[in-house]
Amino acid sequence: MVLTMTVDPEIARMASLYQEQHMSIRAVGAACSRPAKTVHRRLVAAEIPLRAPGGGGQRRRPTPLSAEQERQMAEAYLGNGVSLDSLGAAFGVSADTVARKLRAQGVAIRAPGRTLAALRRGEPSAEILRLHQSGMPPRDIATQLGGVDAAEVARQLRGSGRTPHRGRAIPAGAELTTARERAGSVRALAKDLRVSEKRLRAALAAARTSSAAAQRAPGDEVPAGQDDSDRGHPDTRSACAA
């Protein structure tokens, strides 16, 4: 009877990365999504000879990446949003090497900190950008717009490469207008809320715009060629003409 030994595929991959590609235990762990201690324990259990810390004199230059590996690298970067560091650990090269290989294939490198999910979210709405540019933090923007989560506003701003502002929340709508009247001046209210006058003036302008839009009823617009004196008096011109 012939006995066969079943080899764990994960251990086989760990051994291949460690022995054939001369990756460090930490890099093997990153490539296999396992802690370095787990990789070390499994290699020892499999009786894989371990190199001295740092590789010693046995360390060799990494094998150049094949065309297939470079293709897989680009696919993982574009399709799955894998970072340069993670790809470097998986393929046994530096993040700079990964970036160079990707650029050689015409792949645009994402800005540091920008994940694929952030890029897919796209640009924030024009209203969010306007309020952000006025100095409002996500909490104030969410309060001003209504029906928007402050955390989502912050995610959209960061995803578009912008840094959300920080500061205390400013009341919105009629509450802000009332607070302004009670304070007597923008400067006094800004001091009371501990916010900048610039932020406060932008919030007041947005509140006035929202209030005017809410009060404007359908049909209030004056038709072209008709002035306010003619509104509600359709027979005025004909009567005068007669």
**173 with 210: CB under 8 angstroms?**
yes
Annotate 101-124 with DSSP letters as a single string: HHHHTTPPPPPTT--HHHHHH-PP
Name the residue ranges covered by the structural domains of the chain. 9-52, 67-109, 121-215
Look-up of token digits 């404007």? 216
Look-up of token digits 């020892």? 44
Percent of the chain at pLDDT > 70 equals 72
The Cα 203–Cα 222 span in angstroms is 29
**161-182: pLDDT as tens digits:** 788 887 666 777 788 888 888 8
Which one has a higher pLDDT value, 151 or 241?
151
**125-174: pLDDT as tens digits:** 888 888 887 777 888 888 877 767 788 888 888 877 788 887 666 777 78
pTM above 0.75, yes or no: no
User: Could you tell me which of 159, 55, 177 has the C-alpha nearest to residue 115?
Assistant: 159
Query: Please, is 140 exposed, middle or buried when counting C-beta atoms within 10 Å of its C-beta (0-12, 13-18, 19+)?
Result: buried
Percent of the chain at pLDDT > 90 equals 1
**98-114: pLDDT as tens digits:** 889 998 998 888 766 55
Residues 96-132, buried b or exposed e (16+ Cβ, 10 A)?
Answer: ebbbebbeeeeeeebeeeeeeebeeeeebeeebbebb
